[in-house]
Every structure is written in structure tokens, then in C-alpha cells.
Amino acid sequence: MKALLSVKPGDPTTLAISDIPVPQPGKGQLRVRVKACGINYPDLLVIEDKYQFKPPRPFAPGCEISGFVDAIGEGATGWQVGDRLLAMLGSDGGLAEYAIVDAGNAIGLPDQLDLLQGAALLFTYGTTIHALADRGRLKPGETLLVLGAAGGVGLAAVEIGKAMGAEVVAAVSSEEKAAAAVEAGADRTMIYRRGPLDAESMRELARSFKEAVGPTGANVIYDPVGGCYSEPALRSIAWKGRFLVVGFPAGIASLPLNLPLLKSCDVCGVFWGGFIAREPDHNRRNLEKLLDWWTQGYICPRIDKVYPLDKGGQALARLASRTVIGKVVVCVDGQAPCDLAEGQL
């Protein structure tokens, strides 16, 4: 089978297409004929040996797939060959024609939902429903501030926030991204300057956040950006608000702890992988809720661009550019159009 492999640590240009043996499912496992693989920020980290998990080389990056059951291992009940599914793989294995999945980590995809879009669902929306519902305890009528609101997790937060009845303020870095956030349902938008930011710029950004969320502040702040944006955003939080630490593409932030004291607010870490391992049944209920919302039209994964397998390195590079609106997806089976205009899916 064809696979896009990481053969040495480095950027996406170090990936290479190779032929490797088709894997065999073990006990409790499924072999999946991969339709598509969603590209996520940890995929960049893992090929650079900067992720918490370091799979032995050579390996195919990619941890989020859609596809069809191709073979069933002993004890993997409830599945038939040909079933459509979505699955998380751990740290690697997705950018290949076949992948091995623990049956408990797969979820069936209804026939009316698109497999390409399905490859853009689990990581971003799964993280976000856990963040907003479980960690942020978001309530109807509350104000939600979303940083990086045009990226994969950002747009998911806008849509899920609206589905949960919140007033959503989307913070983005361009007019184009603001338009995408409004299309996803944001009530208001604000545009911030790309970093790095000096001390005066951070103070100005804090004032902009406060103006955007209103005088009572943001009840929940969803921060998948980090870096110099986190502290200014935290300064706009409401009394007893919840600040959700989701990711750090702009760098790991340093927060002055007098702010949580003065606002009596919570700073909450969001580690979806740890949640899956510790509370798999709760996670499955969350995923089933997402499929229900998608079927009803409350959410719809947005694909920024689709690449074929042999250009999967370009897909990772596009994500690294931080220009993506929605998700980048690699179509592994070569049966989907590539270079789609934004919003076409």
C-alpha cells in the first residue's frame, strides 16, 4: 500500500511516499480502507519530534481518518466489512491507504453525512464540545469569546457555542476570517493584529477584547492560540468566568495569577486525548451529540483545501502557514477533487 512517511525529523518537506505492507488487524481491531485524513497541529509537532508521543520511524503522520471497514480482528464486535466510520488513531498512521483502528475508538458515520467532511470532525469538534460543555460549563445566554475563530477548532467553537445557546464573539486576524466566522454563526467579530506584540500592543489588545465582549465580560474564553494573545484575552473575562487553555501555536503563554484572583475565575486545561483515555463512554456520548447536531444542520465541518496523498506534505505546510480557514484534508483514495475553492465543501 502507499503511505506518506516521516523518515527523519523535520518539516513537511521531509515526508516521502513509499510502498509498505498492508497491516493486519489484531484482537479488538479493525483494518480501515482510508478515504481521507484530517490534518491537525499535532501532526506538525510529531514529524519534528516535538510531540509528547514519538512513534518509531518510519511512520505515516495523521491521527484522524474517515473510511470503510476492510477487515475485522477477533473480538471486534458490532462492525461489518464496508461500514463507514470515523476514527482517531493515536499519534500516527492516517496518511496511508490502510490503517489499523481500535474498534472502541471508531464511530459509525450515517450514510447522509460526507466522508471527506467527516475527516474534519472528530479532532476539532471533539476537542471543542469537551472544552465548552465539560470544562467550560457554557450555559445558554452566556458570552463566549473565541480566539483564532476561523481555524478548525475556532470555527467548531463558534458553531458549538451557538448550538449551546451562547452569544459568540469571534476574534480573528483578517476580514476574510471574520466573514467565515460570521458565516459559521458568530454574533460579533473583532480583528486583532498578528504577533508578536509589545507591551503597549498587548494593552491595546486587552482594551479591544473588553470592548468586543461588553461591560460584563466574557463568561467563557476559548483560547486555541496562546502566546501574546492569552493575557489580553484573560483581562476581558467576567466574574467567575472560565478561561479554556486549548493550544499554543503562537507559543506558551505566561499568565499573571493576580487576574484569576481578582476575577474569581477558573483557568481550565483542555486535554482531549487524556479525556478520551479516562472517560471513553463520556467521549462517545459527546461524539454522538456532534453527529446529531451535524445531521440537524447546527454544525458542518468546513474544508479549506483538499490534497491528494502524494501532496500531503503541502497540506501540513498549509496548516503551518496559519492561513487556513477551517480544516485541511488529504484525500487518500484519490477519488475527490483537489484544490477546492473555500466553502465548496
- CATH class of the region 2-121+301-331: alpha beta
pLDDT grade for 298, boundaries at 50, 70 and 90: very high
CATH number of 124-273: 3.40.50.720
The segment(s) of the chain belonging to CATH 3.90.180.10 are 2-121+301-331
Mean pLDDT value across residues 119-137: 97
pLDDT grade for 52, boundaries at 50, 70 and 90: confident
User: How would you class 120 by CB atoms within 10 Å of its CB: exposed for 0-12, middle for 13-18, buried for 19 or more?
Assistant: buried
The segment(s) of the chain belonging to CATH 3.40.50.720 are 124-273
pLDDT tens, position by position, 311-337: 999 999 999 988 899 999 999 987 655
Is residue 127 classed as helix, strand or coil in its secondary structure? helix
C-alpha cell at 240: 467567575
The pLDDT of residue 343 is above 50: no
Kindly state the percentage of the chain with pLDDT values over 90: 88
pLDDT at 193: 86
Cα–Cα distance between 304 and 317 in angstroms, integer?
13
Q: 0.85 exceeded by the pTM?
A: yes
pLDDT at 336: 55
pLDDT at 195: 75
Query: For residues 329 and 36, is the Cβ–Cβ distance under 8 A?
Result: yes
Mean pLDDT value across residues 14-32: 97
The pLDDT of residue 342 is above 70: no
If one compares 90 and 13, the residue with the highest pLDDT of the two is: 13
pLDDT at 207: 96
pLDDT at 301: 96
> Residue 338's closest CA among 301, 310, 319, 297?
310
Cα–Cα distance between 47 and 320 in angstroms, integer?
12
The strand ranges marked E within 76-166 are 84-88, 98-102, 106-108, 143-146
pLDDT grade for 339, boundaries at 50, 70 and 90: very low
Mean pLDDT value across residues 188-209: 92
Helix-strand-coil percent breakdown of the chain, rounded to 5? 35, 25, 40
